[in-house]
Amino acid sequence: MTEDLVVAEGLVKRYPVRGRGLLPAVDGVGLRIERGTTLALVGESGCGKSTTGRLLLALERPDEGTVSVAGRKVHELGRRELRALRRTMQPVFQDPYDSLNGRMTVERIVAEPLRVHHADGDRAARVRELLETVTLTPDLAGRYPHELSGGQRQRVAIARAIALDPAFVVCDEPVSALDVSVQAQVVNLLRRLQDERGITYLFISHDLALVRHLARRVAVMYLGRIVEEGAAGELFADPRHPYTRLLLAAAPRPRVRERPAAVTAAGEPPSVLGGRTGCAFAPRCPLATDRCRAEDPVLRTLPGTDRKAACHYAEAAGAGAA
Ligand SMILES: Nc1ncnc2c1ncn2[C@@H]1O[C@H](COP(=O)(O)OP(=O)(O)OP(=O)(O)O)[C@@H](O)[C@H]1O
Ligand SMILES: [Mg+2]
């Protein structure tokens, strides 16, 4: 039996934008993550990925919508219940340099969640065990973050995140700040931890190619909304939304000989949503018609598939990577 550990419905989060009032950074996002699997959330800078991640972790409160983790609505919990739930949900952020306290030793950093949540047992032994799990040698325990390499620092952040055996981890661009050679090691570590511990991941990335072999499903986000969602293999083989194709065309894919039909981006993405008519992607879309400029496409399941896309022409011949 499969089960969705994380279910978000209709999430809206608005922020004040200077001179323009409140604008939605997240604008009606729904997603489901099956227990023990990875959902990748992909899109350009500013599209609302991190905000979505924070909403799922109950680090922020949505203006509308709900988040359920293991069947419990996280924003309806009392303080004590939320505290208990927090143990089971952890973030790993992009830059371990910012997210690790530079004045603490590795040992203290990794022990911190154990201390905060009053975990019983021999903490020093547990820290050694955690460092081993993330393939760091125990002699690093006395070092400070600035004495470590980027990859080592991210392993420390991961050790801290898994210290309390979380069920759900939001990885927000966890390898974007690392050298390419180190990226694969950290991605492999995250995968191994998932295999061993059944962790469920939301893996946030602006790099579609990176998530190809990592995610069971992929959700593509554009200006606060999910515009395409589907099984990773199928989505890569046959993207249905022009924006997904744009991202795929932009991604370096050394082993792939054929590229999907090139999509050119006209101009930069708007940084925030205004009141809009029609499809938000229309100004950049090579396929846009008058209908696209007039009628906002809803995210819908494409007939006979488990793919969703928010494009009037998602089924059109030639819309895929033909
Ligand atoms: N706390 C905040 N206050 C005001 N605006 C915010 C806040 N957090 C995010 N925003 C705005 O919401 C939008 C989405 O931001 P978010 O950080 O979620 O995007 P992102 O997809 O994670 O981008 P990146 O790839 O650059 O990390 C942006 O326009 C951002 O400026
Ligand atoms: Mg972000």
For 226-265, how does the pLDDT look when each residue is reduced to its tens digit (9 = 90+)? 999 999 999 999 999 999 999 998 765 444 333 333 344 4
DSSP class per residue in 197-208: H--EEEEEES-H
Cα(18) to ligand 2 centroid in Å equals 20
Q: Is the CB of 42 under 6 A from ligand 1?
A: no
pLDDT, averaged across the chain:
89
Binned at pLDDT 50, 70 and 90, residue 100 comes out as confident
Rounded mean pLDDT of 8-25? 95
Reduced to 3 states (helix: H, G, I; strand: E, B; else coil), residue 298 is coil
Condensed to tens digits (0 to 9), the pLDDT of residues 184-208 reads: 999 999 999 999 999 999 999 998 8
Binned at pLDDT 50, 70 and 90, residue 317 comes out as low
pLDDT value, residue 262: 37
Binned at pLDDT 50, 70 and 90, residue 266 comes out as very low
Q: Is the CB of 148 under 6 A from ligand 1?
A: no
Condensed to tens digits (0 to 9), the pLDDT of residues 61-79 reads: 999 999 999 999 999 999 9
Q: Supply the residue whose CA is at minimum distance from atom 30 of ligand 1.
A: 46
Q: Supply the residue whose CA is at minimum distance from atom 16 of ligand 1.
A: 48
The rounded distance, in Å, linking the Cα atoms of 217 and 44 is 18
- Spatial strand order in the sheet of 72-73: 21-34, 4-17, 64-69, 72-73
Q: What percent of the chain has pLDDT over 90?
A: 76
Q: What are phi and psi of 319, to 5 degrees?
A: -75, -25
Rounded mean pLDDT of 286-312? 96
Rounded mean pLDDT of 172-186? 92
**Topology at the third CATH level for domain 4-88+166-309:** Rossmann fold (3.40.50)
- Please report, for the chain, the start and end positions of each structural domain, with discontinuous segments joined by +: 4-88+166-309, 99-165
Cα(274) to ligand 1 centroid in Å equals 15
Rounded mean pLDDT of 91-103? 84
Which atom of ligand 1 lies closest to the CA of 44? 25
Condensed to tens digits (0 to 9), the pLDDT of residues 209-235 reads: 889 889 999 999 999 999 999 999 999
Residue 272 has pLDDT above 60, yes or no: no
Rounded mean pLDDT of 41-50? 96
pLDDT value, residue 275: 57
State the pTM of this model.
0.90
Condensed to tens digits (0 to 9), the pLDDT of residues 274-293 reads: 556 899 999 999 999 999 99
The rounded distance, in Å, linking the Cα atoms of 225 and 43 is 10
Q: How many CB atoms lie within 10 A of CB 7?
A: 17
Strands (E), the chain: 4-17, 21-34, 38-42, 64-69, 72-73, 89-92, 168-172, 200-205, 217-222, 225-231, 300-301, 308-309
